Structure 1
Amino acid sequence: MTTVEKRQPVATGRSSGAGLSRPLGLLLALGVLLLVCVLSIMVGTTDLGFGEVFTAVFRPESPEAEAIVRGLRMPRTGFGLAVGAALGLAGALMQGVTRNPLADPGILGVTSGAAFGVTLSALFGGIASFYGYVWFAFAGALVATVVVFGLGSLGRDGARPAKLALAGAAVSAMLNSMVSAVLLLDAATLDRYRFWAVGAINGQDPAVLYQLLPFLIVGAVLALAVSPALNSLALGEDVARALGRNVGRIRLVSVIAITLLAGSAAAACGPMVFLGLVVPHMARIITGPDHRWVLTYSAVIAPILLLGADILGRVLARPEELQVGIIVAFLGAPFFIALVRRQRLPEL
């Protein structure tokens, strides 16, 4: 894996390439997000009109429409909003703290740890329900991140970005190998694991989202709180220290926030590849390098893409559905290639 560390200028005003002011652009993005949420409730195997959705939400009259809207599509949209915002924030924070434009939440072993937790729960606990294994996934993500941060902190120079990236790659490779070995040896575990691994926001228990919401909120608050310090860190560690920043504390808070955000998202809906990788680049095109705006825009753009991919999956395979994880992966790879070619990253 190639680790990219480069200094970025701190944005103090508008991005020179932005045609709209950042607040106005954010309002437009929020408007698009609202539209996508409405479409997510309207579109499906049984399409509903806006009037039917409005009636089912505020003045329920039809039991069938109420069951579809309140029982199925509103929770599904809620998962898309929460998981998308979490992954967008985690990806932007990861790229900022490591100064690596190719980083995503999986670089700290979050996804691999969650996968290992799901595998263990299915193997030893015989847990097949989503409600049962979600906490194992979250615990696995947390433990893996702590191990990566511990390994990356060894040595005199502490937890530098390159060391964290290498430690994350090593731990992820080890955990993925262990998961593969278990799945090859136990067919029953493979059957249970594959439903989580595909990545889906439909058919989930809303109670799980409510229980994970505190972790997501705390992670989001920490991410936004540390975002001004990332602007100083982008100038280099020595400059950040000269400006009075505690680099070790910045990294520690960032790692905690990434674990809470990406760990909760992976535990709830499985791995969503490329989302945390692509979205921060899209945000920077609009806002410039100021991490305060990059994180805010990422939290809005990511659920737009996730819910949009979910809607596309419902339309393409009617009357069946393609899981959103498949659509995100299919769209994310070429889109990311286009983004990095546009920004002309020399390592690619």
Structure 2
Amino acid sequence: MLKMLFQPLSLKPLYALAALAVLTVLSISYGAGSPNIADSLKLLWHSLSGLSLAPLQPLLELRIPRTFAALLVGAALAISGVILQNLLKNPLADSGLIGINSGASLAVVIAIILQLHGLSLFFWAIFGAFISAVLVFALTPRNQTDYSSLTRLVLAGLAIASTFQGLMAALLLKFQNGLDEYRFWVLGSLNRVEPQFLLTAGVLIALGVIITFSVIRPLTLSLVGDQLAQSLGLNLKLLELACIAAVVLMTGSAVALTGPIAFLGLIAPYFSRAMGAVSIPQQLLCSGYFGMLLLLAADILARTLVQPFEAPVSILLTLLGAPILIWMVRQNNLQNIVQMEK
């Protein structure tokens, strides 16, 4: 199945998996502090020889959770981008653009001000993401014969995102007790991931992925046009609801786990289309792969550029992603973008 999906792409499955495995091992074994690569290998060898996990505590408590968080969040944001871009037929759509990230962020800020911590942040983030998504789609009802409604939906998302950001600023100015924690969280980082939070995020993201794969066929059918798809028996309202549920679960969990990570849901689908991914299953697989790869690489760079401190991973992704996106628009991927907009 994997080989069949990768076959039309200019991406070799073996090389792709090898690159991801190398970055995963590098993420676990290398960082700003101790242990370094050599120490990590020694710890692993002594632990396996003595059948004891005690020497591996620095890796088990810090680097392994953040590595798996990078894999989960990278795949979740990239897959969310694919869903929204195909649902809205807009190659620039992602969870940040239509305000879902801002809704989750506002809910987390409220939870921080109320001094709520732990697993409750996940449910606040998902609730905020859901409210923002419902607001955007409710304010811009779809006209099945008017494709300008898609543009209005994106504009409504931008307006709601700006409103939520203003509310966040007002709340933080009034309630200073949450300012320090929010300042660290909003930059987007993986260095405070805890195993119990990772498990909760993994379950919620897995549920979002299951919903995603259950709507592949109706989502593919919707690409022929809303009016024709409805005449063929597609329930567009139900499709939108399922897609929103999947995006909210994945985006809300990612935001609660690591903070808002910008740009990933936008650029990973571009990479997948540039590699030849045409069908939605190919886009999901290829985008999820690139999402994991990009976030792992950015996290490794974040740990090494300003040692012994860490650079915000979200800023690194923006700095790396913007020129790549400009280059891809100017190159061969431009034709794919134009076709999708039509």
TM (normalized to structure 1)? 0.84
Aligned-pair distance for 1:94? Answer: 0.9
Distance in 2, matches of 1:240 and 1:331, equals 38
Q: 1:108 to 1:318 in 2, by over 3 A?
A: same
Q: 1:219 to 1:286 in 2, by over 3 A?
A: same
Q: 1:338 to 1:68 in 2, by over 3 A?
A: same
Q: 1:245 to 1:64 in 2, by over 3 A?
A: same
Aligned-pair distance for 1:58? Answer: 4.6
Partner of 2:12: 25
Distance in 1, matches of 2:233 and 2:47, equals 51
What amino acid maps onto 2:21 in structure 1?
L
Q: Retained in 2: the 8 A contact 1:105–1:258?
A: yes
Return 5+ residue gaps in structure 1 as ranges. Answer: 1-13
The percent of aligned pairs where both chains have the same amino acid is: 32
Q: 1:162 to 1:68 in 2, by over 3 A?
A: same
Partner of 1:39: 26
Q: 1:241 to 1:132 in 2, by over 3 A?
A: closer
Q: 1:106 to 1:283 in 2, by over 3 A?
A: same
Aligned-pair distance for 1:193? Answer: 1.1
What does 1:1-348 align with in structure 2 at a 5 Å threshold? 21-22=8-9, 25-44=12-31, 45-46=33-34, 47-49=36-38, 51-52=41-42, 54-55=44-45, 58-59=48-49, 65-123=55-113, 125-127=114-116, 129=117, 131=119, 133-153=121-141, 161-342=150-331, 343-344=333-334
Distance in 2, matches of 1:261 and 1:59, equals 39
Q: 1:29 to 1:224 in 2, by over 3 A?
A: farther
Q: 1:37 to 1:126 in 2, by over 3 A?
A: same
Q: 1:243 to 1:52 in 2, by over 3 A?
A: farther
CA deviation digits over 1:13-46, x for unaligned, max 9? x99xx9x644963443222211111110111123
Aligned-pair distance for 1:277? Answer: 0.4
Q: 1:185 to 1:56 in 2, by over 3 A?
A: farther
Q: 1:21 to 1:248 in 2, by over 3 A?
A: same
Return 5+ residue gaps in structure 2 as ranges. Answer: none
Distance in 2, matches of 1:240 and 1:184, equals 48
Distance in 2, matches of 1:264 and 1:112, equals 13
CA deviation digits over 1:73-120, x for unaligned, max 9? 111111111111100100111111111111111233221111111221
Q: Retained in 1: the 8 A contact 2:104–2:255?
A: yes
Q: What SS is found at the alignment partner of 1:299?
A: helix
Greater CA drift, 282-291 or 336-345: 336-345
What amino acid maps onto 2:137 in structure 1?
F
Distance in 1, matches of 2:194 and 2:81, equals 25
Q: What SS is found at the alignment partner of 1:103?
A: coil
Aligned-pair distance for 1:303? Answer: 0.9
What amino acid maps onto 2:79 in structure 1?
L
Q: Retained in 1: the 8 A contact 2:145–2:227?
A: no
Q: Retained in 2: the 8 A contact 1:57–1:69?
A: no
What amino acid maps onto 1:266 in structure 2?
V
Q: Retained in 1: the 8 A contact 2:71–2:292?
A: yes
TM (normalized to structure 2)? 0.86
Aligned-pair distance for 1:309? Answer: 0.6
Aligned residues: 329
What amino acid maps onto 1:295 in structure 2?
L
Q: What SS is found at the alignment partner of 1:107?
A: coil
Greater CA drift, 88-97 or 56-65: 56-65
